[in-house]
Structure 1
Amino acid sequence: MNTKQTFHVIGFLLLLFALFSGSWFLWLFGGLFFFMPAAQNWWLANMRRWVDLEWIADQTRVMPGTPVQITVRLHNRSWLPLPATWLRLTLPEHVTVEGADEVKVSNQRTAVRLRLDLPMRQSVERILTITPHKRGVIWLTDVQSETLPLFAEEGSSIPLKVSFSMLVYPLPLPLPPISLADTEPDGSRLSRQRRLEDVTFQRGVRPYVPGDRFKHINWKATAKTGSLATRVFEHTARPDWRVVGHILPSYEPLQQRHNDAVNERTISCLAALSVLFRKQSLGYELFMSVKQRGRAHLHMPAGSGKNHHLHVMTQLAQMHHYITTPIAPILRRLEESPSKEAILLITPRLDEDTEQAIDRLLRRGHKVAVLDVSGEQPVLRRNEASRIGRLIAR
């Protein structure tokens, strides 16, 4: 029998004696034992109307190992004080917490407890420091509040809504020396196979041809001539790169092998390449051998600049519970491209089928470099048929 049931039994006996004795004191005293549990239930059901939780973080996009300062504020708008109020929340196991009253790690989760003594019509503030050590997204949607119970045995746990998410980017790996200037023109000559237009410099106009981009129409020349005119830009031999990431299945039952560690190296290597392309202001197109929204593989269009870099890093940070696909269809798609591409393949497993696909790409005139991430440090593989592949990592 718990305390609440004990109160009901005592109240029933007092009311029974009051019925036979006619004492008003026993009627009031017995009714009090029924009123207290009802008042407790009403307070717990309506507590979220007067108690609010505010969660403020100084950063929401960080790298692994970056401390983030969290300000926790609990507001009490009621006329009742809330002494010995505990806030309980859970975070991933890799997150370390400083400034809490209790921190325990169990079942791959970090349990955190904070004690707050909340006076009536006032607010209390606590500061935490959390440090994530792995990439991913840290979600927090509710915090359990444990107030001082009316009955000594039963605690009262009430969820308080909070909206918090923190994006942890993958930590870039140290890359071997890679020369990205191989696609530059040789002197003043331009490669006809790698010839593209640079929208930065305009060299004239020409009559409009169906299929031209609407944003490239020169409206001043159109007004003067009375017919649509399209801008003509200078040529460049610096095309976008094609970066291909090979993600292995999380577990291979035939080999009885887990590939989570090597896949994390592949993702970290892709993050390092994104940083390198961002520093050198180069455009790139990303392919990954994982399914994306019903598609056979993940494909991010070509781009450059800060926004494209953040988009790629966000996609890499949010990659969890993925379904892998073979790398061969991606290489076959690049093989069928009519233009000569600069391809950088990041793979932890260079098997015979992949090598044959690389040879076909080289015979079609593409430039291919292979970055092997099977070991702790990425290694740029030799390839005698490719100028980029002849670069040596060390």
Structure 2
Amino acid sequence: MLKWFLHKNVVLDLITTKSQSTTPKFNPLLQHLYSSFSFRYCSTTTTTSQSQSESDKHPFAVSYLINNFGFSHESALKAFNQKRVRFNTLEKPNSVINFFKNNGFSHYNIGIIIRKEPWLLSSQPHKRLLPKFQFFISKGVSSSDIVSLLTANPRILHVSLEKRIIPLFELLSKFFKTNKDVIFCLIRRSYGFSHYTYDRIVANINLMSAFGVCDSGIGSVLLIAPSIICSTDLIDTLKEVKGLGFDPSNITFGQAMIAKKGLSKKIWDEKVDTFKKWGWSDEAFFQVFRSRPNLMMVSIDKVNLLMSFWVNQLGWNSLALTKMPQIFSYSLHKRIIPRASVLQYLLMKGLRKNNASLVTPFSYNEKMFLSKFVFSFKGESDYLLKLYEEKMKLAYSEENNGMPLTK
């Protein structure tokens, strides 16, 4: 600190020149040097020194935003004029920053929050901020989750606790098992904090409930694709998904809404054509889609890679995959290839019946798979384990070398 203090005075000496009246005059060529000190030092300077160096050119608050939080001149003036950032001393901004620091926010977190919501520096933290912190804490939200929530969506601090935050929290709580899930939803999706959006959400949730969509289905849409809840044509989506054969009371209905609404018609048609290219009929595809609508969230590249391995390298029928479509969500290199190598060897040796399910072994956890398909074959177990481990090592080796793996 002493070293900084001496350095600061040297800078001041350079910037100011004494006239006969001893009134300091600032050298414009060096003024920028003094204004570039970091926030942690600026916050300890006196109001007099700040105003001498900065307010001659800008309002105090504007200079403060520029020097301490990296605002451009234009964005600082915009904050001053449009967002009512008003303070003439360090007292207000310091009280806000200290409030955040005392509640676990780092300088990095504070910087993000202030750049998004500079008006906070003009607020009274114990009146404007503390009640909202106390509400979240009363709901069992951890300090670290509060930091994550407000760093991601500091606009929450702008809206009314009674008119917006509490009603929105209680609304979302109906569709999630824990308050932590509600916070996770709020962290990921900053919706519902404007009057218009909140009213639209309430109306569409009521519409989905009246249509018969179950709470878990509504919850999945809220978490994964909240834009659907905010859409103006929700009734059309509900009717379309029901027309595809989905039961609104089943959680798959919400998943189908996400898939159907989340993909453009062009992408949807391309994905359907990809499955058909590998031998699936329209009937087979829609039968699988109705049982597992998440299938449409798998990329076309992933589908082609898995199908190519299954059909071209293993020589197996692609229709077998319709029996267990979740296989498309498994890692090709870490799960499918190692297990397929074991199964292929067993089939070749006549140790597994040709009419046995090809896909079931991929659904087991690793311990059960090794028990049923490796260790149960006493005479072959050493070789099978070696074969399995070699494929696994290859997958991890390629991953460690930076080669992309299909997950």
- TM above 0.5, yes or no, is no
Higher strand share: 1
**Shorter-chain TM-score tier:** under 0.3
Q: Larger relative CO (CA 8 A, sep 6+): 1 or 2? A: 1
